[in-house]
Structure 1
Amino acid sequence: MKVLVVGNGGREHALAWKIKQSPVVDRLYVARGNAGIWQIAEKVDISPTDIPALVKFAKEEKIDLTVVGPEQPLSEGIVDVFEEENLKIFGHRKSSAILEASKVFAKNFMKKYGIPTAFYETFDNEKDAIDFVKKQQMPIVIKADGLAAGKGVIIANTLDEAIQTIKDMFRGKFGEASKRIVIEEFLDGEEASYIAMVKGEKLVPMATSQDHKRVFDGDKGPNTGGMGAYSPAPIVDEKIEQEILEKIMYPTLKGMKKEGRELCGFLYAGLMIGSKGINVLEFNVRMGDPETQPIMRRLESDLVQHILDILDGNIDKVKPKWSNKYSIGVVMASKGYPGKYEKGFEITGIEEAEKDPDIVVFHSGTDIKDGKLVTNGGRVLTVTAVAETLKKAKEKVYKAVEKIHFKGAHYRKDIGDKGIKRLENI
């Protein structure tokens, strides 16, 4: 069968890498992809958000299955259009993708259905937001309503910072995305990512993982799209997982169906587990990036067959098989990310790093210029390793990272430390 992957990042490289292993896949295409994905899939030079061109390509090439990676095409209705043309596609319809596309919708939805989340208020003007924030305790969390590539969440530690953030947002920092904002209480604790493949009121859990959102070691600095992840996440034990399913995942599926917004695709709950229990920080209607990279390294069963079974209404048949090894991914980013950064620097050392069979390097922001591999984004690579223990996986991954070079390369050096500490204390 012919499969098309839509998207350009590390998540899509990891999905394509796994899809390529399926015995049912004869040809794999990517729109538009990156230099890493082009090594394993046929490049389709169409933007992930050019839905009419993607539909035309899928019809002409008789694509049997399309898998959508990023949130933007989902929120713009790619699934609706493909389904109208009787093209098989895995992802949520536009009406369901609002769970990620609007933080205001998501917060109001959680409140309505009793899904645990931080106390919040929503605002569509600067004055009311500033008046509100003056009465709150710091730190406080300020979120742009719409999609902002993982950068639309600011944790303000002082009132001055909160006021400035509100002004920046309403004055166009994130364009249309910050015309409305959510202001919510800051929750302490440890983050975890819980991802499942879902259809209607049923779900199949993926392996647990933990992302590292802040740009610097020790969870310092601004939020990013994610600087690294590992799987499984020891904080999510059996008891906590049961609570996540009972209080968050199943009520979300039921609530969305009741709203006439039935879910079908990947559903991601970003969680804070701390003194106030388990609370939802955000929902995403797709796999996380960089969580997908270590999760796919541990998936031993056929992802394509799982997706086909779900789309054919046989979700009960889907039983993913997971490696009992630990997997870790470290993002190598451009200097200046998540702010301004330069592109076009040559990348060397990947082949050397991948001589270790436990290492796979997934590309995010890469391109080929004049026959050379160069940087082409804020997050450039995710270096992944698998090993019998999380500690060994961390040692392996950082040895590999040290072999890869590009000008201004920046990465966190503490990915996995929370999990290692937790495992040592069990």
Structure 2
Amino acid sequence: MNLFVIGRGGREHSMIMKLAESEKADRIYAAPGNGGICDVAECADIDELDIDRLIDFAWEKNIDLTIVGPENPLLAGIADRFREAGLAIFAPDRDAALIEGSKRYAKTFMEENGIPTAAYASFADAGEAKSYIAKKGAPVVVKADGLAAGKGVIVAQTVDEAVKAVDDMLVNHAFSEAGRAVVIEECLAGDEFSLMAFVHENNVFPMISARDYKRAYDGDQGPNTGGMGAYAPAKDISSETLAFASKHVLQKAADGLVAAGRPFTGILYAGLIMTEDGPKVIEFNARFGDPETQVVLPLLKNDFLQVMIDVLDGKDPDLQWNNQSCAGVVLASIGYPDSYKKGVTLPEIPLDSSSFVIHAGTQKVGGRIISDGGRVLLSGAKGADVGEAADAAYKWLAHNVNSDDFFYRKDIGRGE
């Protein structure tokens, strides 16, 4: 089969590395790709949102299956357009992807379908939002309604912080169109975890759990980012909790989308928090999580391509997992998630048998790998447990990164 992966980040690099293991994979193409992806796939310089050119490329290269990584093309209707063109694609239509594209829609959907989540209210008027905050008090969570690259969530510890977040989003338009409305939620306490599933209409096949680290600095300090590291599985999440989340979150979501006339095909991601009342949904994504993908897929025993083929055919892929742990630590540009420098030359990337490196914000220029984003690389490793895996991931960083241009958290998977 000829395969086409849309995206340029670490999630897509990890997906392509797993696809390359399949005996069914002939040629793998990526658009636009990055400095690491181009070593395992043929990269085409086409933007993820240039759907016309992506369709033309898929026909030109006789693509048998397209897989979409990032959220923006999903909300732009890439899956709808590919299917209309007669091209097979593993991704949700725009209407189904709205479960990620609008926090307001997602909260209303969860309420209507009995999916456990935090109490909330949504507003398009700043004055009304501030009045609600004054009545509810803090801590409280303020979320931009639309897509904000993982950064449109403010966990406000004081009323003043919450009011500032509302002003930033609704008055100052810090997140552009994504902040045309806000969702204000109660602040839930507990350990967070991620649970993804392969989904086709009512059929749901959950993966193993993972835990990611959103804050920029050690001890969960600093601003929210797209993710500074992750490990899988989340050992403190019991099989009973996972069974509950699979039945009452993922399955209810899939069934609810079918009932709403928005059947979902692709990867459904639930960001969850384990509260005193059981697991509750923080957010849904309509695609693989990043960086969770980078630590979940290395533990999948199955042929990744065959899994997607089976799911599309309505078959149970019988998911099998290695009895190990996998940890990944993100190397980020100094200044991320705010302004940062690009074009920094990265060191050579020697690997030992226990570690791997996933490229995210990189480019290959004249044989050199240079930085091209806030999250640059992920150092990953497998081990008998989380500690062993994390130690191996950190060993690679300690031996290979010596620069004032990058930073990484020192506590990913530590103390677990």
Structure-1-length-normalised TM-score:
0.95
- Alignment partner of 1:211 is 2:212: yes
Greater Cα shift, 14-23 or 155-164? 155-164
User: Identity of counterpart residues, as a percentage?
Assistant: 44
1:409 Cα deviation (Å)?
Answer: 1.1
Paired position in structure 1 for 2:372: 376
- Alignment partner of 1:338 is 2:334: no
1:32 Cα deviation (Å)?
Answer: 0.4
- Structure 2 matches for 1:233-252, cutoff 5 A? 233-252=234-253
1:369 Cα deviation (Å)?
Answer: 2.8
1:311 Cα deviation (Å)?
Answer: 1.5
Distance 1:407 1:28 in 2: 36
Paired position in structure 1 for 2:187: 186
Paired position in structure 1 for 2:324: 325
Give the letter aligned to residue 397 of structure 1: A
- Dislocated runs of 4+, deviation >4 Å: none
- Structure 2 matches for 1:132-151, cutoff 5 A? 132-151=132-151
Paired position in structure 1 for 2:390: 394
Secondary structure at 1:357 match in 2: coil
Distance 1:2 1:189 in 2: 44
Give the letter aligned to residue 326 of structure 1: S
Distance 2:15 2:365 in 1: 25
Secondary structure at 1:417 match in 2: coil
Distance 1:242 1:27 in 2: 37
CA contact (8 A) 1:345 1:407 kept: no
1:274 Cα deviation (Å)?
Answer: 2.0
CA offsets, 1:350-386, max 9 Å, x none?
A: 22xx1x1111100000012343211100000011000
Give the letter aligned to residue 361 of structure 2: G
Paired position in structure 2 for 1:26: 26
Paired position in structure 2 for 1:411: 408
Distance 1:124 1:378 in 2: 30
Secondary structure at 1:350 match in 2: coil
1:246 Cα deviation (Å)?
Answer: 2.1
Give the letter aligned to residue 321 of structure 1: Q
CA offsets, 1:216-250, max 9 Å, x none?
A: 11111111111111011112211101111222111
Secondary structure at 2:209 match in 1: coil
Paired position in structure 2 for 1:424: none
Distance 2:186 2:150 in 1: 19
Distance 1:138 1:375 in 2: 39
- Structure 2 matches for 1:22-421, cutoff 5 A? 22-170=22-170, 171-314=172-315, 316=316, 318-351=317-350, 354=351, 356-405=352-401, 406-417=403-414, 420=416
Distance 1:410 1:275 in 2: 35
CA offsets, 1:174-217, max 9 Å, x none?
A: 00000011000100100000000011111111121111111111
RMSD value over aligned CA atoms? 1.0
CA contact (8 A) 1:187 1:276 kept: no
Distance 2:240 2:277 in 1: 16
CA contact (8 A) 2:230 2:328 kept: yes
CA contact (8 A) 1:349 1:403 kept: no
CA contact (8 A) 2:206 2:246 kept: no
1:49 Cα deviation (Å)?
Answer: 1.1
Distance 1:369 1:28 in 2: 21
CA contact (8 A) 2:203 2:314 kept: no
Distance 2:118 2:182 in 1: 15
Give the letter aligned to residue 364 of structure 1: A
CA offsets, 1:107-126, max 9 Å, x none?
A: 01111111111010000011
Distance 1:26 1:407 in 2: 41
Greater Cα shift, 89-98 or 131-140? 131-140
Give the letter aligned to residue 364 of structure 2: I
Paired position in structure 2 for 1:423: none
CA contact (8 A) 1:198 1:265 kept: yes
Secondary structure at 1:135 match in 2: helix
Distance 2:247 2:369 in 1: 46
1:147 Cα deviation (Å)?
Answer: 0.4
Distance 1:51 1:150 in 2: 23
CA offsets, 1:242-261, max 9 Å, x none?
A: 11122211111111111001
CA offsets, 1:33-83, max 9 Å, x none?
A: 100000100011101111111001101111001010011111111111111
CA contact (8 A) 1:295 1:327 kept: yes
